[in-house]
Amino acid sequence: MGIMKTKLIYISILIIAFTTITTQQSCKKGQNDPVISLRTRKDRFTNTWTLTKMEKNGANQDISGSTYTYAVYNSGKLTQTIEGAVFGFPTRSVKDGSWEFVNDEEDVKITIDGSGKTYNVQRLAAKELWLKELSGVNTYVYYFEGN
């Protein structure tokens, strides 16, 4: 192989690598998002998320008696499932809703039963989601684990 052909191959590899890195970094939106991701924010948000931790004004809240799950679909639909127990009897609530990114994908609006709430997306990785909600004087942060 000639020197010119070898140089062209190296230059092509560098251009492809640079294009890939800059494209991947454009998928990052949140301050705590992964630096490089092969998937868009929408693709990362599409998952089954289970609430693992909740904070109110920085203090951990007890969520041990219930399981909160969101099955989020690429179509903009989602299913909320809440399981727990009331007076020792198992309960289960399943509701369909929708979701959409707002504010240049920095926030997500989740609508269930016609009522929408907007959450700031603090972190969105393949298996990690942190949502922040401001409600009056209180700040809630919800930590989810994805499948």
DSSP state of 44: H
Could you give the domains of the chain? 3-146 (2.40.128.280)
DSSP state of 36: S
Give residue-wise pLDDT tens across range 58-76. 999 999 999 999 999 999 9
Name which residue leads in pLDDT, 53 or 87: 53
Q: In whole angstroms, what is the distance from residue 47 CA to residue 45 CA?
A: 6
DSSP state of 39: S
Give the type of residue at 128. Answer: E
Tell whether the model's pLDDT for residue 57 goes beyond 60: yes
Residues in the chain: 147
Report residue 35 as tokens.
Answer: 């630096």
Residue 50 contacts residue 69 (beta carbons within 8 Å): yes
Q: In whole angstroms, what is the distance from residue 105 CA to residue 43 CA?
A: 12
In degrees, rounded to 5, the angle at the alpha carbon of residue 126 between the alpha carbons of residues 100 and 82 is: 60
In degrees, rounded to 5, the angle at the alpha carbon of residue 101 between the alpha carbons of residues 107 and 145 is: 70
Global pTM reads 0.76
Give residue-wise pLDDT tens across range 8-42. 666 666 565 454 444 444 444 556 666 666 789 99
Beta strand pairing call for 67-72 and 107-112: unpaired
In degrees, rounded to 5, the angle at the alpha carbon of residue 143 between the alpha carbons of residues 139 and 146 is: 150
- pLDDT score for 88: 86
Give residue-wise pLDDT tens across range 103-127. 999 999 999 999 999 999 999 999 9
